[in-house]
């Protein structure tokens, strides 16, 4: 084989390798373009991208304003409005509040000295959302105080937060 032919074959082989490398790089770069993004359609039907990776990594970041709204404008306001008023119902309300606060503090119950050791207002947002959901469901279903108490107590027991001391 002549040197010229060998040289041409070598150049063609190098071009082919370069082309293959270029194709690999283009494929890899395309994959990089969509990492962590997903197309979503919102409630108004508008198409948008959502950064899944950021959402996954950050989760529910502590948002003091949202936490305040859920706790005071949601949970507390609804309980004050829908639980019976008066001294005759205070003990029953306290049982419900104890179960709610135990859930919101992920198992911290009031001890014999009256100390909980955690603040239910500063709990996890997802827990506050869950309690708010339970309360609104209870209101919609026109449930009794027993229904609400039992629902939250059973949830606490299921999660390993223990039974209330009065039982």
Mean pLDDT, residues 39-55 taken together: 57
Indicate whether this model's pTM tops 0.75. no
User: Which of 26-30, 51-55, 123-127 tops mean pLDDT?
Assistant: 123-127
Residue 6: the pLDDT is: 76
Residue 52: the pLDDT is: 56
Per-residue CA distances from 31 to 35, 43, 89 (Å): 7, 28, 62
* Dihedral angle sign, alpha carbons of residues 71, 72, 74, 80: positive
- Dump pLDDT digits (tens) for 79-90: 999 999 999 999
pLDDT of 59 higher than 60: no
pLDDT of 20 higher than 70: yes
């Amino acid at each position: 084989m002549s040197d010229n032919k060998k040289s041409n074959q070598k150049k063609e082989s190098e071009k082919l390798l370069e082309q293959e490398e270029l194709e690999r790089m283009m494929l890899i770069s395309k994959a990089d373009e969509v990492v962590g993004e997903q197309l979503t359609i919102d409630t108004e039907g508008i198409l948008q991208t959502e950064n899944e990776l950021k959402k996954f990594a950050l989760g529910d970041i502590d948002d003091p304003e949202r936490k305040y709204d859920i706790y005071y404008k949601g949970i507390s306001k609804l309980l004050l409005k829908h639980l019976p008023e008066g001294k005759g119902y205070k003990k029953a309300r306290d049982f419900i509040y104890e179960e709610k606060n135990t859930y919101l503090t992920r198992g911290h119950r009031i001890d014999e000295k009256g100390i909980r050791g955690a603040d239910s207002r500063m709990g996890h947002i997802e827990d506050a959302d869950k309690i708010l959901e339970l309360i609104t469901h209870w209101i919609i279903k026109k449930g009794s105080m027993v229904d609400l108490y039992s629902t939250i107590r059973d949830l606490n027991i299921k999660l390993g937060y223990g039974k209330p001391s009065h039982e």
